[in-house]
Amino acid sequence: MSEDGSTLVRIRDLHFFRGSKHIFRGLNLDIPRGKVTTILGPSGTGKTTLLKMIGGQLKASQGGITVDGLDVGKLKRSALYELRKRLGMLFQSGALLTDLSVFDNVAYPLREHTDLPESLISHLVLMRLHAVGLRGARDLAPAELSGGMARRAALARALVFDPMMIMYDEPFTGQDPISMGVLLELIQTVNGALGLTSLIVSHDLKESLSISDYAVIISEGVVVEAGSPDQLENSDSPWVQQFLHGMPDGPVPFQAPAPDYQTDLFGQQSQVAGQPVAGAAR
């Protein structure tokens, strides 16, 4: 952690293998405290994997991750569980328990990990549901919720322990424009009102960058660019510009590596011409 406490998550020389695939290749990254940070990058670059490593679900092959000064990879199980209580997680699917009502989904972590009386649990749950606009939906089952409502219920559950940080895994996927707007406003409002740190993984560039204080682009296992959304937008990197604006061709070419087109095309024709035609008389 930085001396002035401005960094909540510090990642240094991070390497991680999934089988023979080298996901992270010496990744270095700081997540600022009290800000909204978005992690961007092409599919398959390990963005969700990084969230799992911050939460201690996966361990680094080399290097380390510290969260609020704690080395996640070296924590014993009890200490890791205590740290996780301070880390909220909004899963891409929402991950609500299908057999429980909205109220009971939000209450579940409190009932599992505390000895609070039911009256206080009810008070805390209703506060969180009210914050996300779902106090009136407390008795509904997850199957009765729209996609946007399910994400908001999951956010209420992630907030119920008053975490210091919430990690969002693709929170905007599959949302209609109204639900998208509600989630964007909620993330920004909750982060400021509760003094949280928010870490977002998203492919929705325009939306996520609109509420971000800081953004990081990861590719090929390292940080390609980091800074404010304005700094990324004004980057001199052709790769960054291609990624941000979705250009089909550029440093990442449209065509896969291949021999010269003319040689390949006419060479194949020559080979075909020299072969006997199937079924022809001999």
Q: Quick check: is 243 in a domain? A: yes
Q: Quick check: is 279 in a domain? A: no
pLDDT of residue 1: 38
pLDDT at 267 exceeding the cut of 80: no
Q: Domain with 243 in it: what CATH number?
A: 3.40.50.300
Q: Is 53 helix (H, G, I), strand (E, B) or coil?
A: helix
Q: Quick check: is 62 in a domain? A: yes
Max CA-CA distance within the chain? 92
pLDDT tens for each residue of 32-45: 999 999 999 888 88
Contact 107, 118 (CB under 8 A): no
pLDDT at 276 exceeding the cut of 70: no
**What percent of the chain has pLDDT above 90?**
37
Q: Quick check: is 184 in a domain? A: yes
The edge-to-edge listing of strands for the beta sheet with 70-71 is 21-32, 7-18, 62-67, 70-71
pLDDT tens for each residue of 56-75: 899 998 999 999 999 998 99
pLDDT tens for each residue of 178-205: 888 888 888 888 898 888 999 999 888 8
Q: Quick check: is 50 in a domain? A: yes
First to last CA, the chain: 80
Q: Quick check: is 13 in a domain? A: yes
Mean pLDDT of the chain: 85
Contact 219, 231 (CB under 8 A): no
pLDDT of residue 254: 65
d(CA 90, CA 167): 6
Q: Quick check: is 96 in a domain? A: no
pLDDT of residue 216: 93
Report the relative pairing of strands 21-32 and 7-18 from DSSP bridges: antiparallel
Q: What are phi and psi of 128, to 5 degrees?
A: -70, -40
Strand ranges, E, within the chain: 7-18, 21-32, 36-40, 62-67, 70-71, 87-90, 165-169, 197-201, 214-219, 222-227
Domain count, the chain: 1
Q: What is the extent of the structural domain holding 71? A: 7-86+163-273
| 101 vs 267, more confident | 101
> What is the average per-residue pLDDT within 138-150?
89
Q: Quick check: is 236 in a domain? A: yes
Report the relative pairing of strands 21-32 and 36-40 from DSSP bridges: unpaired
CA 49 to chain centre: 9
Band the pLDDT of 147: cuts 50, 70, 90: confident
d(CA 119, CA 44): 45
Give the CA distances from residue 155 to residues 1, 37, 199, in Å, rounded to whole numbers and listed in that order: 27, 17, 13
